[in-house]
Amino acid sequence: MTGPVIQVEGLYKNYGTVTALRGVNFSVEEGEVFGLLGPNGAGKTTTVEILEGMRTPDRGLARVCGLDPEKSGSRFKEMIGAVLQSTSLPDKIRVKEAIDLFANFYRVHGNTNDLLKRFQLEEKRDAFYSQLSGGQKQRLAIAMALVNNPQVVFLDEPTAGLDPQVRREIYDIIEELKRGKKTVLLTTHYIEEAERLCDRVAIIDYGRVIKIGTPRELKHASAGTTRIEVRLAKPVDNGVLGQLDAVANAREFDGTYVLHSTRAPHTIVALVKHLESDSNELQSLEMFSPSLEDVFIELTGRRLRD
Amino acid sequence: MASNVIRNTWTLTKIRVRLAMRNRTFLFFSLIMPLGFLFFFVTIFSKGDTAWTAYILGAILTMTVMGSFWGLSVQLVMFREAGILRRFRLAPLGAGPMLASSILSNYILVLPSVAIEILVTKFALHMQGWGNLWAIFLLVSIGSATFSAFGLIVASVTNTMQETQVINQVIWTAFLFLSGATVPLARFPHWIQGASLFMPATYLATGLENAATNLATHSEIITDLVALGIGLLVAFEISRRLFRWEPEAKLPGSAKLWVLAAMIPFIAFGTYENVKGDRLALVRQNFQMLNSASMTTPSKSH
C-alpha cells in the first residue's frame, strides 16, 4: 500500500478528569517495527487500544491500513493481530483449543500445529491455560495474535513482568516478525527492547510524543554524552555537580546522582576534587555509553521507571 | 456475513460446552443438586403418589431450566471482569455470537440434565406414564433460552460480580418461591397468585408441571410457549444492545431499568390473565384434581 500503514494525528483522550493523550502524532511505514517508549501512564496503551479499535478517541485521527479502526468492523480485524497488555483466557481451555478457537474466527488462518511448533508450545498443547507459566502464556498470546497472518501487529508491553530468558525468547519472535516484513507497533518501557527491536522509536510522556527517530538518531541527539551515575556518602546540591567540568546536566534520582558529561575523564577528576574539598566521598561510580534512557532523561527530566 | 455469525456462534458454543463439562461446580449445580432435590421432594411430599411424583418432576425441571438464568449471568460477568471478553473483542466477532453461543451451549447442557431427571423419576421413583413429552421438550427448549437471555440482561446491567449476585439473589428468590416451582401456586392467597402471573417463571413452572402431570391443554402450552418466546426475543435484543466487552465500561444506574423493559411482555400477559384469562382457575382446578387423586389412596396427604 502507498502511504503509512499506521497514521495517528492529533489524538486526544480523557478518562474523566485524567488526560491520557494530548495530541499524539506519528506514522508507521509498511514493514517497520515502531516503538512507543515511555513510562507507565504515558499514554502508550491508550494509543494502541485506539488503533486496535477498542477505545474511542475524544479528538484526532487514527488509521490503520487506511481504515478507521473503530468503524471498519470485521474487515479491519481480519488485518490486524494484537497482544494486549494483559491477556486472559478461561482457566480450563487447552492451549491447542485456544489457538483453534481463534483461528476459526478468521476467514484466512494459519495451521494450529505449525503455530504450536513455531512458538514452542507443542509439549503444552493439551495443558490447561491455568497450568502455563507466564512466558508460555505470553507465547500463546502471540501465537493467537498471529493466527490470521495479520498485516499489522500490535504488541502492548509484550515482555512486561517476564524474566530475562523469556524476554529474549519474545525478542526472537519479534525479530522473526521483522524479517517477515510485518508492520509492528510495540509499546515498551524497556530501553534495551526499543534499542534492539525498533526501526524507529517515539518517546512518549504525559500523553505527548516528545521525540521520534531511529534509536541511533535519538542517541546522537543526546549530544554524545556519557552517563555517570554516582552515589555519595553525603547529599550534595545538583547545581554544584552541574557546574563541574564538562557536565551537560546533573540530576538526582533516589540518592543516585546522574551526570551527563561530554568528557567523562575530566568530569570524574573534577568530581573527586570537589568531594575532597567538601569532605565527602564516593560510595559507587558507574559509567554508561549513551542510551535511549539518557535521551529520555534529557527530554523529560525523569527516568523511564519513575 | 450471516454465515460468519452462524460459524462463530457454533465455534463458541462448542468450546463453551467443553469448558462447562470441565467445571465441577457446574456439574454439581446442574446435575447432582436437582437430582438431590428430586429425591428429597418425592420422598417427603409424594410418598408414592404417582400424580404428585409427576408434579414434583415438573417443579424440578423448572428449577433446572431456570438455573440457566443464574449460571449465565455469573459467567458473563466473570469473563468480563477477568478481561477474557477483551481478547475476544479483538477477533472479528460481534456481541451476537457471544450471547447466542451462551444460550445455545446452555441449552445443549440442560437437555441431558432434563433427560436424566425424567428417566430417574420414571424408573427409580416409579412415575406412571411419561407426561406430555413433546410439551416438556418445547417448554424446556424455549424456557432455557428465555431464562438464559434474562441472565444475560442481568450481566449486562450490572457492573461488578457483587452487584450481579445481589440482583440474581433477589430475582431468583422471587422466581423460585412465587412461581409455583417450589410451593404449589394454588396454595398461595389469591392476590399472590394474581401477582405471580406477571413473572416469566410462572409460565414455565405451570407449563412444565401441567405437562409432566399430563393435565395441560394445547392452548395452555401454546400460551406458555408464546409468553416465553416473546420474553426471549425481547431479552436477547436488550442484552445484545447493552453488551459490554470492557470491565471498566460501566453502565449508568438508569440502564438497570432495561431489566424492567424485559418484563413488558409478562406485564402484558399478566394483565390479560388477571382480567380475562382462566389460567389461575385451571391451576386451582388441576391442584384439586391432584389432591382428589391422592385422596383415593390412603396414607397420602398433602
pLDDT attached to residue B295:
60
Average of per-residue pLDDT across A47-65: 96
pLDDT attached to residue A144:
96
Task: Show which residues on chain B lie within 8 Å of chain A, measured between beta carbons.
Answer: 4, 7-8, 11-12, 15, 18-19, 22-23, 79, 82-84, 86-87, 89-93, 245-246
Nearest CA in chain B to A86: B83
Lowest-confidence region among A82-96, B85-99, B111-125, B271-285: B271-285
What is the average pLDDT value for chain A, to the nearest integer? 91
Contact B19 A92 (CB under 8 A): yes
Delimit the CATH 3.40.50.300 region(s) of chain A.
Answer: 6-219
Question: Is B258 a residue whose pLDDT tops 90?
Answer: no
In which band, very low, low, confident or very high, does the pLDDT at B297 lie, cut at 50, 70 and 90? low
In which band, very low, low, confident or very high, does the pLDDT at B70 lie, cut at 50, 70 and 90? confident
Cα A117 from chain centre? 27
| CA–CA distance, A94 with A92 (Å, rounded to integer) | 6
Average of per-residue pLDDT across B171-198: 90
Question: Is B153 a residue whose pLDDT tops 80?
Answer: yes
| CA–CA distance, A101 with B13 (Å, rounded to integer) | 11
Question: Is B216 a residue whose pLDDT tops 80?
Answer: no
| CA–CA distance, A76 with A69 (Å, rounded to integer) | 6
Which among B234, B251, B232 is positioned nearest to B80, based on CA atoms? B251
Whether this prediction's pTM lies above 0.90 is answered by no
Question: Is A306 a residue whose pLDDT tops 60?
Answer: no
Determine the straight-line distance between the first and last CA of chain A, rounded to whole angstroms.
Answer: 40
Average of per-residue pLDDT across B32-45: 89
Q: Please state, for a pLDDT cut of 70, what percent of chain A lies above it.
A: 97
Average of per-residue pLDDT across A18-31: 96
Contact A77 B92 (CB under 8 A): yes
Mutation to test the A interface, candidates B19, B80, B87, most A Cβ within 10 Å: B87
> Would you call A201 helix, strand, or coil by DSSP?
strand
Contact B91 A105 (CB under 8 A): yes
> Does residue B163 lie within any of the structural domains?
yes
Structural domain boundaries enclosing B290: 2-295
Question: Is B82 a residue whose pLDDT tops 50?
Answer: yes
Q: How many CB atoms lie within 10 A of CB B19?
A: 17
The DSSP call for residue B254 is G
Which among B13, B12, B33, B11 is positioned nearest to B24, based on CA atoms? B33
pLDDT attached to residue B299:
44
Condensed to tens digits (0 to 9), the pLDDT of residues B245-256 reads: 988 887 777 777
| CA–CA distance, A295 with A203 (Å, rounded to integer) | 9
Determine the straight-line distance between the first and last CA of chain B, rounded to whole angstroms.
Answer: 57
CATH number of A6-219: 3.40.50.300
> Does residue B300 lie within any of the structural domains?
no
In which band, very low, low, confident or very high, does the pLDDT at A12 lie, cut at 50, 70 and 90? very high
Note which residues in 144-163 of chain A have CB less than 8 A from chain B. Answer: 144
pLDDT attached to residue B302:
40
Q: What distance in Å separates residue B4's CA from the closest CA in chain A?
A: 8
Question: Is B229 a residue whose pLDDT tops 50?
Answer: yes
Delimit the CATH 3.30.70.100 region(s) of chain A.
Answer: 223-289
> Does residue B230 lie within any of the structural domains?
yes
Q: How many CB atoms lie within 10 A of CB A268?
A: 21
pLDDT attached to residue A123:
95
In which band, very low, low, confident or very high, does the pLDDT at B300 lie, cut at 50, 70 and 90? very low
Lowest-confidence region among A20-29, A149-158, A282-291: A282-291
Q: Which fold has domain A223-289?
A: Alpha-Beta Plaits (3.30.70)
In which band, very low, low, confident or very high, does the pLDDT at A34 lie, cut at 50, 70 and 90? very high
Q: What type of residue is A289? A: S
pLDDT attached to residue B301:
39
Question: To 10 degrees, the CA torsion angle through A2, A80, A171, A111?
Answer: -120
Question: Is A305 a residue whose pLDDT tops 70?
Answer: no
Condensed to tens digits (0 to 9), the pLDDT of residues A200-227 reads: 999 999 999 999 999 888 877 766 678 8
> Does residue B301 lie within any of the structural domains?
no
Question: To 10 degrees, the CA torsion angle through A55, A60, A66, A68?
Answer: 30
pLDDT attached to residue A112:
95
In which band, very low, low, confident or very high, does the pLDDT at B160 lie, cut at 50, 70 and 90? confident
In which band, very low, low, confident or very high, does the pLDDT at A240 lie, cut at 50, 70 and 90? confident
pLDDT attached to residue A91:
95
For every residue of B80-103, DSSP letters joined together read: HHTTHHHHHHTSS--HHHHHHHHH
Nearest CA in chain A to B92: A74
- Which residues on chain B are in Cβ contact (under 8 Å) with A87? 83, 87
- Own/partner pairs for A11-16, CB < 8 Å, 24+ apart? A11/A47, A11/A50, A11/A57, A11/A59, A11/A60, A11/A61, A11/A62, A12/A57, A12/A58, A12/A59, A12/A60, A13/A43, A13/A46, A13/A50, A13/A55, A13/A57, A13/A58, A13/A207, A14/A58
> Does residue B290 lie within any of the structural domains?
yes
Q: How many domains does chain B have?
A: 1
> Does residue B302 lie within any of the structural domains?
no
Contact B82 A88 (CB under 8 A): yes
B254 by Cβ neighbours in 10 Å (0-12 / 13-18 / 19+) ranks as exposed
Contact A78 B92 (CB under 8 A): yes
pLDDT attached to residue A202:
95
Q: How many CB atoms lie within 10 A of CB A62?
A: 23
| CA–CA distance, A276 with B230 (Å, rounded to integer) | 88
